[in-house]
Chain A
Amino acid sequence: MGYVAIKGGTKAIEESIKRLKYERLKEKKIVNVDDIKGSMRGLIDQVMSESSLCSRELASIAIKQAEGNMEEAVFLLRAYRSTLPRKHYTKVLDTDNMLVERRISASFKDIPGGQILGASYDYTHRLIDFDLTDESLEDAIKWVDDYENEKIKDDDTDLKKLPKVVDYLREEGLIKTYEDNNKEPIDVTKKSIEFPTERSERLQILTRGQTGAITSLGYAALRAYGALHPTVGELRIGSLPIYIDNPLDQSSKEEDSFYIGDIKITEVESFIPKEIEKEKGRKEIEFDIGYGICYGQNETKAIAMSILDNCLETGNKKYPTHDEEFVLLHIDSVESTGFISHLKLPHYVTFQSKLDSARKTKKGEKDNEDRL
């Protein structure tokens, strides 16, 4: 019962915060923000994706401050995000124009433009590399220089103009061609969602969802609770240029827009077979697309997102993974970790109140027995 009844919370908090700093520094080691930025790519990518804030520098500071704790780093960036005025929306991006670093298809072996493996853990053995314990900076620099000087056989593939795998199925009529939906997306950070949601809202919430949560729910849908069997049509990783309209001139002319930088993203298009009912009960199989996209290289998350996107589009009442309230309201890192951790707060009053009710029910039982 200690810390509420006793005066001195302020002092206790100060000491606890000091202790936290001590834990961070007690080994008398510090890591530079630049070192984090230069070597913690996977962590930075996940942190940026979950906090929906694209800044490697801020992510690195947050990671340092949080001692590498994901949920804390995301929390810091989300809170910081609340203080930033939203001044512009970017122009619509077309991922056809991505400068591709990695691009694979699990649906077709031979895709126009070819499979590009790029950098991936997929083909490594997960054996701990003990040599890393005494890796030296000199060796690292030398390795990089050698690598960069290696002659790479050039072919004439234009990495900025790789055709989408999905177009192939579209041409054959196996995937429905939809008209472009040019409706202005709803910004979920400016307006809380109402159900039923629009796809633009769903995609935003999925892409900023907690990596583990998205992966788990996507896995559940794939394994048993979703009734779908996706094939990764195309997974691509690369950078996209971002443009905004000229803020002083509302005409939105292409040549007046400003280039403000590149973002690196992972994009996944999954093909999901679906039965189409034709005349007289005849059935055909076509394919639906599940779409996943997120900051950085987060392949598992993007694939899981593509599964959940399709689940929520289908909305089969049998499965919780198809229930938009179940999925969308429980995958945000800041929300879920916040509410779970609030259980550590004192509940003296609320528990006292419940205790009173519990005692009254006991008394009620006795009264009833007396009456019998």
Chain B
Amino acid sequence: MKIDYNFAFFDEGSKREIRRATLKAVAIPGYQVSFASREMPIARGWGTGGLQLTLSLTGTEDVLKVIDQGSDESVNAVNIKKLVKKTTGVLNTDDTNKATLIQSRHRIPEKSLKDKQILVLQVPIPEPLRLVEPSEYKTKRLHAENEYSGAWLMLFEQIMKYGNMSTGADHPVKVYDRYVMAPSPIPRFDNPKMDYSKALILLGAGREKKIYAVPPYTKVKSLAFEDYPFEVESFEDKECRLCKATGVFMDELIDEDTKETYYQCNDTSYCLDRLNNRN
């Protein structure tokens, strides 16, 4: 009993179904489209939504980049790349510029994306209202009725309790002035990169069986109040220990010998690129 897998793992019927959901998602920016969501050879919660999108989109000419929390070399990114390569044979790259498809967990690359690139984000909880309303039946109706008081109240309560909005990653955004959307837990730092992005952004939640999208050149605004504006994570006075970059998202690390805190670009390929081009 030995069987070869089809191109891009799935049977063609499954791929077609994912593409149909994707097209619908692009047509209704920010709206969560249900899809059947097949079980994948990597675990649910490890990027199966993103992976299903990637596999349904990959053609023989594509060049794929996969990053996990900023790193091309993280175990999970490597694992996903390996699987796509094994089942399609497409080229992999670390270079953001060269990639036609970028699958990412929780980061948007520092280098701006271009036309005709597709960014696929892995999403654990696609529902921005889940924290305030556990029932899917109800949240679906809240979206339909454009009823987002829950999301606003959540932010308001944070201000009352903590003096400012204390969302970590996954600060909710409003897409095309209509749907409130979970940007997947990208740090607040990356939210503005979604606004009028040149690249198509697709978001896939495998376990929750949802696909949604931000089409190119679409307005994406982080929820905020006039007197409490949206704030990104602050790294103002920090610079990368390796490439001296400033104004990028940093990892906070501790020097084992001196116990001092130092900072390093979270986007490893961006950092490498700067290091290589400096010399």
Contact residues in B for A368 (Cβ distance below 8 Å): 163
Q: Which residues of A contact B82 (CB under 8 A)?
A: 13
How close is A260's CB to chain B, nearest CB, in angstroms? 18
Q: Report A325-366 residues with CB < 8 Å from chain B CB.
A: 325, 329, 334-335, 337-342, 345-358, 360-361, 364-365
Q: Are B44 and A82 in contact (CB under 8 A)?
A: no
A194 lies within 8 A of B36 (CB):
no
Residues of B228-279 whose CB lies within 8 A of A: 231, 233-234, 249-254, 264, 266, 268
User: In the complex, how many angstroms separate the beta carbon of A19 from the nearest chain B beta carbon?
Assistant: 14
A125 to B6, CA, bound (A): 49
Q: Is the CB of B9 within 8 A of A82?
A: yes
Q: Which residues of chain A have C-beta atoms less than 8 A from B218's C-beta? A: none
- The residues of B that contact A189 with a CB separation of less than 8 Å are 36, 38
Min Cβ gap A8→B in Å is: 7
Cα separation A354 to B34 with both chains bound (whole Å): 29
Residue A190 CB within 8 A of the other chain: yes
Which chain B positions have C-beta within 8 A of A353?
168-169, 185, 187-189, 233
**Complex Cα distance A353/B251, Å?**
10
Q: Please, which residues of chain A bring their CB within 8 A of the CB of B170?
A: 350
Q: Are B78 and A9 in contact (CB under 8 A)?
A: yes
Closest A-chain residue to B17, C-beta based?
A190
Q: B35–A349 contact, CB under 8 A?
A: no
Q: Which residue of A lies closest to B159 (CB)?
A: A364
Expressed in whole angstroms, the Cα–Cα distance for A63 and B236 within the complex equals 53
CA distance A194 to B164 in the complex (A): 36
How far, in whole Å, are A337 and B166 apart by their CA atoms in the complex? 29
In the bound assembly, the distance between CA atoms of A37 and B61 in angstroms comes to 43
Selected from B124, B249, B253, the residue in CB contact (under 8 A) with A349 is B249
Are A4 and B187 in touch, CB under 8 angstroms? no
Chain B residue nearest to A366 (CB atoms) is B163
> At the interface, yes or no: A137 with Cβ under 8 Å from chain B?
no
Interface pair B253/A5, CB less than 8 Å apart: yes
**Nearest residue, chain A, Cβ from B72:** A9
- Is A106 positioned at the interface, with any CB of B under 8 Å from its CB? no
A73-81, A171-179, A218-226, A289-297 - the one binding chain B: A73-81
* Contact mask for chain B residues 1-34; partner A; CB cutoff 8 A; 1 contact, 0 none: 1000110011111100100000000000000001
Q: Which residues of chain B come closer than 8 Å to A335, judged between CB atoms?
A: 44, 207
Number of interface residues of A (CB under 8 A): 61
Given contacts A194-B34, A352-B187, contact A82 B40 (CB under 8 A): yes
Q: Does A191 contact B (CB under 8 A)?
A: yes
The answer on a CB contact under 8 Å between A342 and B166 is no
| Contact residues in B for A120 (Cβ distance below 8 Å) | none
Chain A residues with CB under 8 A of B252: 352, 355
Residues of A within 8 A of B251 (CB): 1, 4-5, 348, 352
Q: How far is the CA of A340 from the CA of B124 in the complex (A)?
A: 11
Name the CB-closest residue of B to A354: B168
Bitwise, B67-90 to A at CB < 8 A (1) or not (0) is: 011110111111100100000000
What residues of A have a CB within 8 angstroms of the CB of B75 in the complex? 3, 9, 12-13, 345
Whether A261 is near chain B, meaning CB under 8 Å from some CB there, is no
With A and B bound together, what is the CA distance between A132 and B170 in angstroms? 56
Q: Closest chain B residue to A57 by CB distance? A: B1
Contact A83 B5, beta carbon cutoff 8 Å: yes
Cβ contacts B172-206/A at 8 Å (1 or 0 each): 00000000000001111100000000000000000
Docked pose: A5 CA to B75 CA in angstroms:
11
Compute how far the CA of A192 lies from the CA of B134 in the bound complex, rounded to whole angstroms: 18
Q: Which chain A residues lie closer than 8 Å to B70 at the CB level?
A: 4, 348-349
Inter-chain CA distance A6–B71, complex, in Å, is 9
Knowing A325-B137, A339-B207, the reply to whether A350 touches B39 (Cβ < 8 A) is no
A183 within 8 A of B: no
B163 pairs with A357, CB closer than 8 A = no
Q: Are B13 and A349 in contact (CB under 8 A)?
A: no
Question: Is A147 an interface residue when CB atoms closer than 8 A count as contact?
Answer: no
Query: Which residues of A are found within 8 Å of B188, using beta-carbon distances?
Result: 353
On chain B, the residues within 8 Å of A367 by CB distance are: 163
Contacts of A82 in B (CB 8 A): 9-10, 14, 38-40
For residue B136, CB closer than 8 A to chain A, the reply is yes
Contacts of B34 in A (CB 8 A): 191-192, 194
Q: Which listed residue (B46, B77, B78, B169) contacts A338, Cβ 8 A? A: B46
Contact partner of B39 among A5, A9, A81, A339, CB < 8 A? A81
Interface flags, A294-332, vs B, CB<8A=1, else 0: 000000000000000000000000000000010001000
Q: Is the CB of A85 within 8 A of B13?
A: yes
Contact A364 B162 (CB under 8 A): yes
Q: Determine the chain B residues whose CB is within 8 A of the CB of A361 once the complex forms.
A: 162-164, 166
CA separation between A5 and B251, bound complex, in Å?
Answer: 9
Which A residues between 236 and 263 are near B, CB-CB below 8 angstroms? none
Known A347-B69, A356-B233: A190·B36 in contact at CB below 8 Å:
yes
B43–A342 CB distance below 8 A: yes
A84 within 8 A of partner (CB)? yes
A348 to B77, CA, bound (A): 14
Q: Which B residues lie at the A interface, using CB under 8 A?
A: 1, 5-6, 9-14, 17, 34-41, 43-46, 48, 68-71, 73-79, 82, 105-107, 124, 134-137, 140, 162-170, 185-189, 207, 209-210, 231, 233-234, 249-254, 264, 266, 268
For the complex of A and B, the 9 pairs showing the least CB-CB separation, nearest first, are A338-B44, A364-B163, A342-B45, A354-B168, A82-B38, A192-B209, A78-B39, A339-B45, A195-B137
Query: What are some 5 contacts across the A-B interface (CB < 8 A)?
Result: A9-B75, A338-B43, A340-B45, A341-B45, A353-B189
Query: Which A residues lie at the B interface, using CB under 8 A?
Result: 1, 3-10, 12-13, 57-58, 61, 75-76, 78-79, 81-86, 189-192, 194-196, 325, 329, 334-335, 337-342, 345-358, 360-361, 364-365, 367-368
